[in-house]
Amino acid sequence: MNTNAFPIPWQQRDRLALPVAELRKVAHALRRQVIKLVRRHGQGYVQQGLGAAEIFASLYFNDARIDPAHPRWEERDRCILSTAHNSALFHAALALRGMIPAELLDDYIKDGSALEINVSERLGPVVEGTFGSLGQGLSVAAGMAAASRISGVDYRVNVILGDGELEEGQVWEAAMFAGSQRLNNLCVILDLNWMQVEGHTDDVLRLAPIADKWLAFGWNVIELDGHDLCALLKAFADARAETTKPTIIVATTVPGKGVSLLEGIISHNAKLPAEVADAALEELGEIA
């Protein structure tokens, strides 16, 4: 992805705070890259990648304080991908943000590559942790948020959580701990796409009422459309302003968002034939 089309100093330390108009371009660019990465192998986590593009654009290109040139900057905001399988989108976001070389995307899920199908720390310090087993991310995030308070180093911890992960008991132990400790520097973004390996989440375990559960654990809860950039930016700002509670942003997203052939199809690890990928890229304004 050529970042020269964006007149923003991508390498700057701290928050980029891109405006909504630029974030729309970022989300669109991320969707194109997700298709291109999954196209090479004909199958992958394309539906989640397309669906969460606005979440990643808002987090990495507006809210999070990071320094691409110094990924272990002590005061950086920690960004944890608990849904580690959403790797095409994650790697695309890192490349566009300048945190990994764009040419490294050519190695995506090749044998021996650090860009694995499940994001791992083999990629280096740009990855805060390996979470191939779903349900672990919030526990680590809560520990990091508590560590900030103990050490006196000021940073926020953001964790992208999948709705299928809510079936894991470990998530609720971490939620109870974070609420009890009033970790107001912790923010969960729940990618609520109603999709997991076995199909629709309600066909496995009923998740509702989601907001009430988190409220009961002492969290600040914000519900929104996960494709509404204005709502996402306000939610992140409100989370930063919260002084007594951790925040969860319950972001409802549509699998395959932005590509008419794929939109709304629940497929955890989707097949993506070359002709479908090419049609998707054409719809997104790029020829394969």
pLDDT category at 288 given cuts 50, 70, 90 is very low
Cα gap 30→56, rounded to integer Å: 9
pLDDT digits (tens, 9 = 90+) for 165-205: 999 999 999 999 999 999 999 999 999 999 888 878 888 88
| 139-176 per-residue burial string, b: 16 or more CB within 10 A, e: under 16 | bbbbebbbebeeeeeebbbbbbbbbbbbbbeebbebbe
pLDDT digits (tens, 9 = 90+) for 15-67: 888 999 999 999 999 999 999 999 988 888 999 999 999 999 999 999 999 99
pLDDT category at 5 given cuts 50, 70, 90 is very low
Residue 133 clears pLDDT 90, i.e. is over it: no
In degrees and rounded to multiples of 5, residue 58 shows phi and psi of: -65, -40
Q: Do the strands 186-192 and 247-252 form a parallel or antiparallel pair, or are they unpaired?
A: parallel
pLDDT category at 9 given cuts 50, 70, 90 is very low
pLDDT given at position 102: 92
pLDDT given at position 239: 98
Nearest to 80 by CA among 11, 153, 138: 138
Residue 8 clears pLDDT 50, i.e. is over it: no
pLDDT category at 10 given cuts 50, 70, 90 is low
pLDDT given at position 14: 80
Task: Give domain limits for the chain.
Answer: 19-283
Selected from 3.40.30.10, 3.40.50.970, 3.40.50.720, 3.40.50.300, the CATH number assigned to the domain covering 19-283 reads 3.40.50.970
Residue 6 clears pLDDT 70, i.e. is over it: no
Residues forming beta bridges with residue 225, ordered by sequence position: 252
| Residue appearing with tokens 């809560």 | 142
Tokens of 209: 């009422």
SS3 for 223?
A: strand
Percent of the chain with pLDDT over 90: 80
Nearest to 227 by CA among 62, 49, 53, 88: 53
